[in-house]
A = this chain, B = another copy of it.
Amino acid sequence: MKIVIDAHGGDYAPLEIVKGAITSVNLIEDINIILAGKSSEIKSILDEYGYTGDRIEILEASEVITNEESPTAAIRAKKDSSLVVGLNKLKTDDDVIGMISAGSTGAVLSGGLFIIGRMDGVLRPSLAPTLPTLLGGKTMLIDCGANVDCKPEYLEQFAVMGTVYMQSMLKVQNPRVGLLNIGTEDKKGNALTHEAFELLKNNKKINFVGNVEARDILSGNVDVIVSDGFAGNIALKATEGAVMNVLKLMKNTINESGIGVKLGALMMKKAFKAIKSKMDYNTQGGSPFLGVNKIVLKTHGSSKAETILSCVKQVVEIHESGFIEKLRAGLLENV
């Protein structure tokens, strides 16, 4: 089982990516990693960290796609970029089960779409992170930015894809699907959600529980939240931003306070740590790009070695869960 990793994607590439690869082969049996990128840089990090095994392979790629470039143009122009070289390897080598990148979201999505290709029957592949909830479970938010202008039938299919994912990966038997909306009443929303609501309500393959509000991303009241990619991305970033900002405000308030508060904060350290780890999206792996022919995982730009390890585990789990085959079967039933 081989997994390709884009060695030059993300804020801490290539160092943290390569370290993540080393940790992964050390901790997970039966996998080999292919690092796509600049051989000399990768090799010197492997040497530095004393990796001498044969389970990490380097696939030379001389270019890097940045966040500033137009994704589609970059995918076309930079044929020798770590992302494109990696995706081509994923496409052509049957032993490779998936690809991970912490690089430009747009480029990963464009590359996934144009190189790996849409699964038969899929209208629009979509980016679908599973987020930690207050109840300790996870909620999938689908779509989070791959499709900014959606038709109602795309949202219906997001619900099916999300349902299959939560069933196969998280063993949720009958995932509750909610439609992201501006109120919980049936008639709420815009033109898109009005039509999507009817399609979801009448779809027998899913367990549609109605409209949900953005606060349900954290509440754990539903398993899958369906949205167009624009609103989904807004909801995701508003949530992440608010969590981050409240924690920052807390830190600042403590720093500006007297010794009593500071001592109190010290005594609460364990509790703060528990909260932070519960809300920390970075240790949670990556967002799968659902609906393309093989596993493509986009992880946060700020990913470090630990996140890469989580992502490798996630790719293995998705592969072993048979998600892609189940999705293929699930979609065919639709016809």
The residues of A with any CB-CB pair to B shorter than 8 Å are 68, 70, 134, 145, 148-149, 180, 182, 185, 187, 189-191, 193, 213-219, 229-231, 233-250, 253-254, 257, 260-261, 263-268, 270-271, 274-275, 278-279
Contacts and interface: CB of A to CB of B under 8 A. Distances in A.
11 contacts: A134-B245, A148-B191, A182-B233, A214-B235, A214-B238, A215-B240, A234-B235, A242-B242, A246-B247, A257-B270, A264-B264
A99 B146 CA distance: 43
Contacts of A250: 271, 275
Contacts of A145: 182
Nearest to A180: B234
Given A149-B191, A254-B268, A278-B249, A238 B230 contact: no
Contact of A274 (B190, B218, B253, B260): B253
A229 B218 CA distance: 22
B213 A249 contact: no
A249 B279 contact: yes
A238 B245 contact: no
B182 A234 contact: yes
Contacts of A278: 249
Contact of A68 (B185, B260, B271): B185
The residue in A68, A213, A229, A241 that gathers the most chain B C-beta atoms within 10 A of its C-beta is A241
A185 B257 CA distance: 38
Given A233-B182, A234-B231, A268-B261, A245 B70 contact: no
